[in-house]
A = this chain, B = another copy of it.
Amino acid sequence: MEIQVLQNIFEANVQKAEEIKKLLSNKKVYMIDIMSSPGSGKTTITDNIIANLKPYYNIALIEGDMETTKDSEKLAKYGIPIIQIETKLFGGACHLESSWIMGCLGQFNLDEIDVVIIENIGNLVCPAEFELGEDERIVVLSITEGEDKPVKYPLMFNSSQTLLINKIDLLPYLDFDMDELSENIKRTNPTMEIFKVSGKTGEGMDGFLNALKRRIKAKIGK
């Protein structure tokens, strides 16, 4: 019985995600879903992305959090449309669901939006199970979390197209083995596009942002 209901939840989520895909294709909007552990640097990365893309694209932001509007407040400076989802209103959910994203998209004027950024709940497990109709999943891994995460949380790393290895400014102070991480990524998702970055210093962000802009252009034509 539990399994049946869970299956219904997943199926309803996939169905709504398909509707979102069609809507975004129709409206020529590119949507990215940024996921990671708590504290990997998603908000700083999001800040970088908005600062860089804003001259070229109209951006809207969906911020997921268990509680608080701290991340939205940090990014309010850009004056772009932001909707905050506090999942404590949904029983403290550990993930975002496509029906909630559809609800947010309904509040944006999609005719005037080019790129929607979703900052998901800080969690390496649950968000990976819920497709949101996104064009691209970006997983952020801070090097402070260790080399083993791709093999311990394979669904997250399997189902994402882009990996940002973040906080590389801390490399000199950690016993971090980049080769071991690369090996673990290869075993989990050999086709993933990987960028080593520091959201804090901006190092390595150009390569990632140029690739992102290429993919946006391929979909929306600008």
Q: Which residues of A contact B (CB under 8 A)?
A: 1-3, 5-6, 8-9, 37-40, 65-68, 70, 91-92, 94, 121-126, 129, 142, 144-146, 148-149, 151-155, 167, 170, 173-174
Contacts and interface: CB of A to CB of B under 8 A. Distances in A.
A66 B124 CA distance: 10
Contacts of A70: 148, 151-152
How many of these chains are in the complex? 2
A91 B126 CA distance: 11
A158 to B, nearest CB: 11
Nearest to A169: B173
A210 B1 CA distance: 46
A114 B92 CA distance: 35
A19 B124 CA distance: 31
A70 B70 CA distance: 35
Given A129-B92, A146-B39, A66 B123 contact: no
